[in-house]
Amino acid sequence: MRDSLEVLIETDVPERAREEHAPELPTLRRFAGYELLGRIAVGGMAEVFLARERSEGAARLLALKVIRASLERDAGFAEMFMREGAVALGLRHPNVCHVYRFGVESGHAYLAMELVAGTSVRELIVYARKTRTRIPPHVAAKIASSVAEALHSAHVARDERGRALEVVHQDVSPHNVMVAWDGTVKLLDFGVAQSSLETTRDDPAKDTASDTDGHTIVRGKLAYLSPEQCTGAKIDARSDVFSLGIVLHEMLTGERIFRRDGPAATMRAIAVEPLKDDAFAGIPAGLARVLVKALARSPRHRYASAAEMQEDLERYLADERMVVTSAKIATALQQIVGDAYGRPPELDARPEVVAALPEPRADATALPFPLVRERAPARGSRVAWVIAALAVIALVAMGVVTTMRAGSVEPRAVEVAPVAAPPSEPIVVEEPAAVAPEVVEPAPVEVAPAAPAHVEPPAAQAETESVSAARERRRAERARRRASVPTTPGGFVEDPGF
């Protein structure tokens, strides 16, 4: 019985599960606490490495995005790179690629992100074109619906204090939508996103940046811009809706709807030219209606939110009696990409790909700029114990001085209730307003008849001077504490839920 059971278990283990127990990939270098296994992508702004993180005997793979060495001294790129981490770290949605941690290691800015094993929508469209097939309309509609839901989550996101983040992605394109091999859809790359976390010197009423010559800098990929981005007008969530409409159209047709010969012609087509008569040829009528509204040139005629666009996409699927699950998307992926389905990302494991990265350093490096505008610390219950302690000490000192002025009798010991220890973190205490001293009548004391007491004025004066010196020492200590409060974040910013 035992032999037959062992044979049954061996037979039921799929080949893919056995491969998971293959020897681990060697570590090329440690960086920011992660083991770098190789490079999986290179972009104009950053390199992406396959990394491994260990914790209590377990390990997981993730994507580590590091700003390119040639851009490290460019403050604009560095700020845009770090803002991607600040924005994405505050988003919580299953269709948004999660950022676990971001910071600076030995002068190199990095983001530790969720590793999505799959293909981008851009690659999926290329695969479909090569095989002379198209992404099924119901699959394209479901992918677009998932992206719309992720966008709406970002548009309405709030920080820990309940303040709106006002995120606008600004770079919705097939390149930035990943579809995992299991059919899960992920929106990524918030590097050029607009949000309330920006710390730019530009006029806050403007939504486009300018270089030193006054030229407008357009954010996003050219073929997927909205009319507002092309003209430098104010943008909001409806700009992302327009870009998502372009992505949906490309998934359905395999062609870019605003593709022209050159940047100027492309931007003109987006901003002013009417759509071609055959722009929606071959597209199901229900999806064509969605595209007409999403691609309206005026934001007032567009969907007011990504959530409204998602509702119409889901309504189309319901009208067609189509239930599209992640498993169905995965099946469509397998049919389109063929033998490439399930493959891991191509890994460049040559030692030289990590040569530009520094060896691990023990000391932490502060972020090069503040990510969130600093606000004056609120006065709270943490300073109440300090004010109470000062009041008790003042009353006791006044009682002692008054008693000594009344006679030469040795003052009685006074028991003072212990004051709670202050918290370990530095605090800032504002100077209390001046209060008129309260006159405390000393309790009557019976003493044996004796010669009249004589109090030396110099002794009383010395006592008063000692009280003043103590007060000056307290003021100096408060000033020292104020100066010790940190004003910039240090090392890294980490997801509290990670």
Closest CA to 171 of 196, 189, 198: 189
Comparing 260 with 398, which gets the higher pLDDT?
260
Least confident of 10-24, 105-119, 465-479: 10-24
Catalytic residue among 3, 74, 159, 171: 171
pLDDT tens-digit map of 427-455 = 443 444 444 444 444 444 444 444 444 44
The DSSP H or E segment spanning 29 is strand 29-31
CA separation, residue 25 to residues 39, 219, 352 (Å):
13, 38, 16
pLDDT score of 119? 96
Comparing 418 with 173, which gets the higher pLDDT?
173
Comparing 11 with 310, which gets the higher pLDDT?
310
Closest CA to 253 of 289, 297, 301, 287: 287
Q: How high is the mean pLDDT of the chain? A: 75
Residue 74 designated active-site: no
pLDDT score of 68? 83
The CA distance from 294 to 280, in Å, is: 13
Query: With b meaning 16 or more CB within 10 Å and e meaning fewer, what string describes 312-349?
Result: bbbebbeeeeeebeeebbbebbeebbeeebeeebeebe
pLDDT tens-digit map of 79-106 = 778 777 788 888 889 999 999 998 888 8
pLDDT tens-digit map of 398-412 = 654 454 454 444 444
Domain-by-domain residue ranges, the chain?
1-117+344-372, 118-343
Comparing 120 with 23, which gets the higher pLDDT?
120
pLDDT tens-digit map of 192-249 = 567 655 533 333 333 344 444 444 455 568 999 999 999 999 999 999 999 999 999 9
pLDDT of 24 over the 90 cut: no
Residue 461 — pLDDT band, cuts 50, 70, 90? Answer: low
Phi then psi for 364, rounded to 5 degrees? -80, 150
Query: With b meaning 16 or more CB within 10 Å and e meaning fewer, what string describes 76-101?
Result: ebbbbbbbbbbbbbbbebebbbbbbb
pLDDT score of 86? 80
CA separation, residue 490 to residues 69, 367, 427, 481, 486 (Å):
21, 6, 18, 19, 9
Phi then psi for 293, rounded to 5 degrees? -75, -40
Average pLDDT on 6-16 reads 37
Average pLDDT on 345-364 reads 78
Residue 138 — pLDDT band, cuts 50, 70, 90? Answer: very high
Average pLDDT on 165-183 reads 94
Least confident of 13-27, 245-259, 359-373: 359-373
- Which homologous superfamily does the CATH classification assign to the domain defined by 118-343? Transferase(Phosphotransferase) domain 1 (1.10.510.10)
The CA distance from 74 to 300, in Å, is: 38
Least confident of 19-28, 137-146, 258-267, 413-422: 413-422
Residue by residue, what is the 3-state secondary structure of 180-244?
ECCCCEEECCCCCCECCCCCCCCCCCCCCEECCCCCEECCCCHHHCCHHHHHCCCCCHHHHHHHH
pLDDT score of 399? 55
Comparing 23 with 498, which gets the higher pLDDT?
23
Question: What proportion of the chain, given as a percentage, has pLDDT over 90?
Answer: 47
Q: State whether CATH 3.40.50.2300 applies to domain 1-117+344-372.
A: no
The CA distance from 53 to 494, in Å, is: 14
